[in-house]
Homo-oligomer: A and B are copies of this chain.
Amino acid sequence: MIGPEIERLIQLLSKLPGLGPRSARRAALHLMKRRDSLLIPLSEAMAAAGESIRACSVCGNLDSRDPCTVCSDHTRDRSVICVVEDAGDLWALERTRAFRGTYHVLGGLLSALQGVGPDDLNIGGLAERAKDPAVREIILALNATVDGQTTAHVVTDRLTESDVSVSRLAHGVPVGGELDYLDDGTLTAALKARRPL
């Protein structure tokens, strides 16, 4: 005897990472008790994000501008491109304020299990960007997991034609760890101590 509007809200909330059916019910109740302070603003923020957020045509970052805020910032160092799995990893690196270059978002990692091949990732766009003589270095900031390291090797292979040096994040990233779960200090140290491949 729960109304269909509430049922649908609960069902959609339960698809968010970190929320199951029970916590989605709690979230729905929480939202409906705070209609004006949370439910309506969140609905509008989602609509605004859905309306305006697109993948940057240069680097693949998610932003309401195209090229994105990073790509159109003339103070950023265009000679260095940092390659990340997704926008969440880009945000993590931006939070450290330790990197002043540009990014390239692959849109995932190679994965035999999940059937993700090289053509599913934005590797071609990176190879194109690497042909620009202004680009000197490409930093692979990928997870220290099997999929991340496999992806790093494939990306490096595609960059051999270009006259760029390719580096990866220093060890300091715990083996098996994921970027989004690292503290900013570790990320900063790993970025500074990057080593040539």
Q: Which residues of A contact B (CB under 8 A)?
A: 1-6, 8-9, 12-13, 15-19, 22-23, 25-33, 35, 38-50, 52-53, 62-65, 68-70, 73, 86-88, 91, 94, 180-181
Contacts and interface: CB of A to CB of B under 8 A. Distances in A.
30 contacts: A1-B70, A1-B94, A2-B91, A3-B69, A5-B45, A9-B42, A12-B42, A12-B45, A16-B19, A16-B27, A17-B27, A19-B19, A19-B27, A22-B180, A26-B180, A28-B49, A29-B62, A29-B88, A31-B49, A32-B62, A33-B86, A35-B53, A39-B46, A39-B49, A40-B50, A42-B46, A43-B46, A44-B47, A46-B46, A47-B47
Contacts of A33: 86
A13 B42 contact: yes
B15 A18 contact: no
A47 B38 contact: no
Contacts of A19: 16, 18-19, 27
B30 A86 contact: no
A19 to B, nearest CB: 6
A39 B50 contact: yes
A80 B78 CA distance: 72
Contacts of A4: 64
A5 to B, nearest CB: 5
A160 to B, nearest CB: 31
B64 A25 contact: no
Contacts of A5: 45, 48-49, 52-53, 64
Nearest to A62: B32
Contacts of A181: 22
Contacts of A13: 42
